[in-house]
Amino acid sequence: MRISLCGAAGEVTGSGYLVETRTARVLVDLGMFQGQGATFEKNRDLGPVQPERLDAVVLTHAHLDHCGRLPLLARGKFRTAIHATPATVDFAELVLKDSAFLQQQDAERLTRRRQRQGRPPAEALYGPEEVDRLLPRFQALPYGETRTIADGVSARLVDSGHILGSASVELTVKEGASKRTVVFSGDLGPNGMPFLRDPQPLAHADLVFLESTYGDRDHRPLDATLDEFLAILQDAAGAREKVLIPSFAIGRTQLILYFIAQFVREGKLPVFPVVVDSPMAIEATRLYRRHQDLFDEEAKALGRRGGWEKDLPRLEMSETAEESKRLNNLRDAAVILAGSGMCDGGRIVHHLKHNLWRRNVHVVIVGYQSQGTLGARLVHGAKEVTIHGEEVVVHADIHTLGGFSAHAGRSELIDWFGHLAKDRPRAVLTHGEDGPRAALAEALRERFGVTVETPGPGAVVTLD
Ligand SMILES: [Zn+2]
């Protein structure tokens, strides 16, 4: 069989694998390349993927960098099923509808600029029509069930502990007399995160595609991060200050709510207002409730006692733009969670514009900020930033907390691979920058004596 890499080779976005056997073509993920300019333009090229010739699609999880190009399949004659866990089916709908809206909005803005320059209009990558055509193709495949998805190919999904519903994929491929197992790790989570079960190891593989985002380092211990977070919230509560938290809608927002509730429950923090100012995060939080069967034991037990909401009696969901604007006048201790997670769009930008210049405000960065974003400038200590073309001085306290990652650290990646190592599978490292990837490759070779490859974009891996 041949497996073509459609992205995330030496970078962390654009995940996608086309598996071709003598009798079938199966796609695993088709994520968006996230970035500006040339990086974004790569999304328009499907490479070796011919939508009308696909027999099946498997989706590991609902993050945009894994599902964001799927709507492009729905342009032509695309009748293929997309297999994903029930939670991923729900989250993917939320993510792709939001993405289509943003794609259209971006294209309209660009078109207006181009028109002023006498140039032709910009074309959106896709819009709501493609997403509407795509959504009926999703077929829920619960964890642990084996399903034949194409001639000679069966798939099984295993919890990867990264976001609710996320999965590693085990493909069993029969060609003539040979039978091969190919495992795609998907994004692997760290151990011990609230709500999520730890990543489940697999027992056997001939070939493993392993993510390598943090292949060169372990995260700061969660306990140290939580102590820091608590201290910030205690200060804010005492001095009646506002705390702004830029946060991704799915996963990170719920995690932060969980921890604040825990502080209140343990009596470390007085009850004070928490506002989720993001329609997408509000919907994602509803979906978390719908899929609580996937929670780890701790979160299930908490659910039986009334859930974390019980400890946040002043939790507000701010759905409309008016509700969001009203928060500008809030002059009391409050946590405001809003997107986008990297401060490069969404309601958090408005909150930052109205508050960065104040002295009695905290901004808590809880996620990765990629270069060039407003979030990255704040993390690097900018004294002044430009927001919507306006200079804003930074007087607010900016805190960066490093321990909330949704990705496994280096030791956890090595441990996960260790469960497969007895059969000495070939390893192919993807979804990582070159530095972390090379570091993990060396560790796996040394520790397990396996062959490890670090292919570039467009590479084809073959397996007899
Ligand atoms: Zn992910």
Q: What string of H, E and C letters represents the secondary structure of 47-87?
A: CCCCHHHCCEEECCCCCHHHHCCHHHHHHCCCCCCEEECHH
Split at pLDDT 50, 70, 90, the class of 307 is confident
> Of 83 and 34, which is predicted with more confidence?
83
pLDDT of 217: 94
Summarised one tens digit per residue, pLDDT across range 336-361 is 999 988 898 889 999 999 999 999 99
Nearest CA to 87 among 123, 49, 60, 120? 60
Cα 183 to Cα 3, 9, 119, 167, 456: the distances in Å are 12, 17, 47, 11, 19
Q: Tokens for 430, please give them.
A: 């993807």
Q: How far is the CA of 15 from the centre of ligand 1 (A)?
A: 10
Q: How far is the CA of 362 from the centre of ligand 1 (A)?
A: 28
Question: Does residue 10 have a pLDDT over 90?
Answer: no
pLDDT of 23: 95
Choice among 145-154, 260-269, 326-335, 351-360 with the minimum mean pLDDT: 326-335
Question: Does residue 169 have a pLDDT over 90?
Answer: yes
Q: How far is the CA of 131 from the centre of ligand 1 (A)?
A: 20
Q: How far is the CA of 115 from the centre of ligand 1 (A)?
A: 37
Any idea what DSSP says for residue 192?
T
* Cα gap 179→153, rounded to integer Å: 10
Q: How far is the CA of 235 from the centre of ligand 1 (A)?
A: 33
Any idea what DSSP says for residue 44?
G
Question: Does residue 76 have a pLDDT over 90?
Answer: no
* H or E element at residue 437: helix 434-448
Q: How far is the CA of 61 from the centre of ligand 1 (A)?
A: 7
Q: How far is the CA of 213 from the centre of ligand 1 (A)?
A: 10
Q: What is the pTM of this model?
A: 0.92
pLDDT of 328: 87
Residue 347 CB neighbour total at 10 angstroms: 22
- Return the amino acid letter for 391: E
Split at pLDDT 50, 70, 90, the class of 106 is confident
For 408-424, what is the mean pLDDT? 97
Q: How far is the CA of 236 from the centre of ligand 1 (A)?
A: 32
Q: How far is the CA of 231 from the centre of ligand 1 (A)?
A: 29
Q: How far is the CA of 165 from the centre of ligand 1 (A)?
A: 11
Q: How far is the CA of 333 from the centre of ligand 1 (A)?
A: 32
* Cα gap 285→256, rounded to integer Å: 12
Q: How far is the CA of 334 from the centre of ligand 1 (A)?
A: 29
Split at pLDDT 50, 70, 90, the class of 224 is very high
pLDDT of 349: 93
Give the CA radius of gyration of the chain. 22
| CB distance 174 to 148 below 8 Å | no
Q: How far is the CA of 63 from the centre of ligand 1 (A)?
A: 5
Summarised one tens digit per residue, pLDDT across range 35-60 is 778 888 999 999 999 999 999 999 99
Nearest CA to 64 among 36, 106, 39, 100? 100
Our CA angle for 179, 180, 186, nearest 5°, is 150
Q: How far is the CA of 28 from the centre of ligand 1 (A)?
A: 14
Percentage of the chain beyond pLDDT 70 is 100
Question: Does residue 72 have a pLDDT over 80?
Answer: yes
pLDDT of 256: 96
